[in-house]
Structure 1
Amino acid sequence: MKRHSLACILPPDLLVSLARDATHEQRLALLQALNVDSSFRQARAETAARLVAPVRLALAAAGGTPRRFIYDQQHSQSPTPGTLVRHEGDPPTADASVNAAYDGFGATYSLYWDVFQRDSIDDQGMPIAALVHYGTAFDNAFWDGQGHMFFGDGDGRILTDTTRGMDVIGHELTHGVTQHTANLVYSGESGALNESISDVFGSLVKQYHLGQTAAQADWLIGADIVGPLLKPALRSMTAPGTANKHDNQPADMTHFVQTTSDNGGVHTNSGIPNRAFAVTAITIGGSAWLAPGTIWYETLNDPRLKPNSTFAGFAALTLKNARTRYGATSPEADAVRAGWDAVKVPVQ
């Protein structure tokens, strides 16, 4: 049972798909990314194996200010932080990647604190570290489960500078939030829920920062970091399977993908709960971080949510939480049901 695997924004299946049509030079870069992916997955699995139950911590006594540390890896692939170049309260530097990582961490902290009163990843003011310029033209960004987010500069064709993706940063840091709340097993449907929750809150980070309504948002993940081979985005929450020519996400349970790769298709089948959230948010209208975000956040923190939850189990809890907070016959509860109905997940 895998509590956590390495949380990369580009999954291994996509890297393999890209390698099939890549030039020799591009294939070398993709193999490098896959090699790093494999090494970090093993290290993280060993750490995660020691987590035998969800970590649910009490609300910290004080909060409201992030604790950010930005390190320059100078193209090293070392898993330990390099040179500290900016920390909390420091002015911007001459390095745009450093500043973008700092701002993305701040935007993620702001969503969780302002809207959900959560003090950082562990709700106890946990410091968060960015390791920018990781590797040479490295095509990925990932969270290692131990307080570090690694940012590749991209090769310009597959990905560009990954620090530019505010939703990508929100996605990766949310893997840490999930680790400290529901601790969803990173395999099968529970793993796809894990990935979906990161996409949901990653999108909300971007929407909150830009002040967008659900109707105004593009609901695309990674649109700001993809190169020409993956345009226009990595994933679409409203139309799974249409984000780029390699996108094979299903849009409903009828097309659920049965596979043994990528921990049982965690990045593929996440399109189903992604669409359920987007439909819910658009149906309710207004700011998606308010009622829809609150329902999903309360479900993530609900003690009834099991680490091996299925889509149907998660869906049932979202409806229960919507009814409890907003009323059994409220528009919010009706919208939650409409969201899951749209993806053919039965909900009672």
Structure 2
Amino acid sequence: MPPYILEALAASDEPALATHAREALRHDQELRAARRTPTARPTGRRAPRRGDVTTAHGEGPHRTIYDAKGTQTAPGTQVRAEGGAPSSDAAVNEAYDGLGATWDLWSTAYSRDSLDGKGMPLLATVHYGRNYDNAFWDGSQMVFGDGDGVVFERFTRSVDVIGHELAHGVTEHTAGLLYQGQSGALNESVSDVFGVLVKQKALGQSAAEADWLVGADLLNPSVEGRALRDMRNPGTAYDDPRLGTDPQPADMAHYVDTQDDNGGVHINSGIPNRAFVLAAEAIGGNAWEGAGAIWYAVLSGDGINADCDFETFAGLTVAAAGSAHGDGSAEQKAVRSAWETVGVLTAAAGDGSHGAKRTKKSGGRSTAPAPAPAGPTPSSEAQVLLRRTGGFAGQVRERRVAIGELPERDAKDWQHLLAASTLQRIAASTERTHPDAFVYSVVCDEVGCDITIQEPHLPEAIHSLFERTLADD
């Protein structure tokens, strides 16, 4: 769920809906704080967890479904294992089938044995929380909420969403795309691409027959929209009083240059999404066999770096199409034309040597400013702008407040925090970014503070202060 959607619902005039969204956001923060995304290609599989069953390579999927029974504890009680009879619970069966459909795509289309290529068991928990508006991959298993029943239905209904989240696991074990800026938007786009390919393969749809929608099955009929994202037409998926308007751009002319959401990873992913659809439709046939195979070759190949930008990725796909189908082939021309249409490549730069601005290479690590020395204590009249962005739905939440307007304890905490160099030190020491985690920006002109930090890197005391400040708005 892009954070900007949950943030819009949290500001709803409907009390129950706003409460459910805030609860989902709170739980989302806690769970994503533990998420770790590798910045280099992992070489081994994860350690076994309680409840795992080892599966021999190539043997088939090994799925286990658990029921949290309305709690926020995972995995919960086991309710269905691989090969077990269908349940009377629709969510259990949908999760089981969705995991199977995802495993089937990776196995039959790309000869990949589960997410890590080594038979990783697929685990899922259903009925997580009460009216929980989200589904997510926590690095080792899927977790599904039941939705609020007003805007969102149960999250197991959407097989492309299941495929999207599990694809994050494949990216972690292959390219390890950094979750920031253009590489982060590519990370999100890759998950959308293979999420919809899971759906298309399960339905037997060709590229021409597919709707290219992400999350269409999640929306309640009352919502004015078709899905969470429209890959063919970014920016048109919904226009709803409660959700706002789909913010995705369709080309580089409308690229969103922002510090929010790890540099707009959920927003700017619309550009490579559209490029994939254009390439898939021009190549024709089944997208998982045509454009999907080209994208997978790049994702799992040796040429891609963790900080890959749009232009570099585009050039790699053009080269991969040439390797698979021949230089000057119709498939290669289709891929190049798609990237030219969205403005990433130009006609004179089909090899990816020119075009979109490249992100700074940093050996797989994000860069950060040097720590600043401690400064003066801000006055009670000092204005603080606190913004929270990012998350699956990409929602923005912010508050501008004078320190003196806050409760006495929080006012003192803010004065101490802004007078110290703590935030600058955390920002300078940050080496990892985390998919779908929230991002906080703090600006206080009186003391010259302008800092952006991902939520997983914040000490609990600072994180709690930020959340109390936003909640009191």
User: TM-score per shorter chain, which class?
Assistant: over 0.9
Contact 1:219-1:238 within 8 A present in 2 as well: yes
Question: Equivalent of 2:71, from 47, 72, 76?
Answer: 76
Specify the alignment match of 2:404 in structure 1: none
Question: Equivalent of 2:226, from 220, 223, 232?
Answer: 232
Question: Equivalent of 1:109, from 103, 110, 115?
Answer: 103
Amino acid at match of 2:153: T
Which structure features the higher share of helix residues? 1
CA distance in 2, matches of 1:67, 1:333: 37
Specify the alignment match of 1:272 in structure 2: 271
Specify the alignment match of 1:91 in structure 2: 85
Matches of residues 37-52 of structure 1 in structure 2 within 5 Å?
Answer: 37-44=28-35, 47-48=36-37, 51-52=38-39
Secondary structure of 1:34's counterpart equals helix
Shift of 1:52: 4.8
CA distance in 1, matches of 2:224, 2:142: 22
Contact 1:184-1:190 within 8 A present in 2 as well: yes
CA distance in 2, matches of 1:243, 1:305: 30
Question: Equivalent of 2:215, from 195, 211, 222?
Answer: 222
Shift of 1:38: 1.1
Percent identity over the alignment? Answer: 52
Contact 1:158-1:230 within 8 A present in 2 as well: no
CA distance in 2, matches of 1:208, 1:57: 29
Secondary structure of 2:80's counterpart equals strand
Secondary structure of 1:142's counterpart equals strand
Q: Note closer, same or farther for the CA distance 1:22–1:332 as it changes in structure 2 (3 Å cut).
A: farther
Q: Note closer, same or farther for the CA distance 1:38–1:125 as it changes in structure 2 (3 Å cut).
A: same
1:34 aligns with 2:25: yes
Question: Equivalent of 1:196, from 168, 180, 189?
Answer: 189
Specify the alignment match of 1:303 in structure 2: 302
Instruction: Give the stretch that moved more between structures: 249-258 or 60-69.
Output: 60-69
Shift of 1:22: 4.1
Amino acid at match of 2:216: A
Taking structure 1 as the reference length, the TM-score comes to 0.92
Shift of 1:74: 0.2
Secondary structure of 2:223's counterpart equals helix
Question: Equivalent of 2:156, from 159, 163, 170?
Answer: 163
CA distance in 1, matches of 2:192, 2:44: 23
Count of paired positions: 332
Amino acid at match of 1:250: P
Question: Equivalent of 2:7, from 16, 20, 24?
Answer: 16
Q: Note closer, same or farther for the CA distance 1:37–1:219 as it changes in structure 2 (3 Å cut).
A: same
CA distance in 2, matches of 1:171, 1:22: 31
Instruction: Give the stretch that moved more between structures: 290-299 or 224-233.
Output: 224-233
Shift of 1:57: 6.3
Secondary structure of 1:267's counterpart equals helix
Specify the alignment match of 2:118 in structure 1: 124
Q: Deviations over 1:174-231 (max 9, x none)?
A: 0000000001011111111000000000000000011101110000000011123363
Q: Note closer, same or farther for the CA distance 1:230–1:75 as it changes in structure 2 (3 Å cut).
A: farther
- Structure 2 unaligned regions, length at least 5: 46-54, 240-244, 352-473
What's the Cα RMSD here? 1.5
